[in-house]
């Protein structure tokens, strides 16, 4: 199990002997740590009003929180695996195509 950061003011950030969010093999099973960290990330992404999504090296959506999906006009499940450039940056404001190679994302 994780100890709590002695400097933590109740935020519940996982803490181990090697620092925040770092696994400590002597105190917890690695699989349990991964699940715990995944749950913390899920709760964080779900509790913010900021739109957050991630993409892989090919530009495919790997995750999207509800806020991001709502801002883009989708359900989160509709974004997973889709190329984000084609969904959100496909045209310039004048309607001209926006080449993916020019996209800063």
Question: Per mean pLDDT, which range of 1-5, 11-15, 50-54 is the poorest?
Answer: 1-5
User: Is pLDDT of 44 > 60?
Assistant: yes
Q: Are residues 61 and 43 in the same domain?
A: no
Provide the domain count of the chain: 2
The pLDDT-based confidence of 29 (bands split at 50, 70, 90) is: confident
Domain co-membership, 33 together with 15: yes
Together in a domain, 61 and 97: yes
82 band by pLDDT with thresholds 50, 70 and 90: very high
Chosen domain end from 47, 62, 77 = 47
β-pairing, 61-64 with 19-20? unpaired
Range of the domain at 42: 3-47
Residues 12 and 41 in one domain: yes
37/59 same-domain check: no
- Extract long-range pairs of 79-88: CB within 8 Å, 24+ residues apart: 79/53, 83/58, 83/59, 84/53, 84/55, 84/59, 84/60, 85/59
Report, as an integer, the average pLDDT of 14-42: 68
């Amino acid at each position: 199990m994780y100890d709590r950061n002695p400097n933590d003011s109740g935020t519940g950030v996982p803490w181990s002997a090697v620092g925040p969010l770092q696994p400590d093999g002597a105190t917890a099973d690695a699989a349990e740590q991964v699940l715990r960290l995944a749950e913390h990330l899920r709760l964080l992404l779900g509790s913010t009003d900021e739109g957050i999504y991630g993409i892989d090296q090919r530009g495919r959506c790997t995750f999207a929180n509800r806020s991001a999906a709502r801002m883009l006009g989708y359900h989160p499940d509709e974004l997973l695996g889709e190329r984000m450039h084609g969904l959100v940056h496909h045209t310039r404001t004048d309607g001209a195509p926006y080449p993916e190679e020019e996209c800063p994302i």
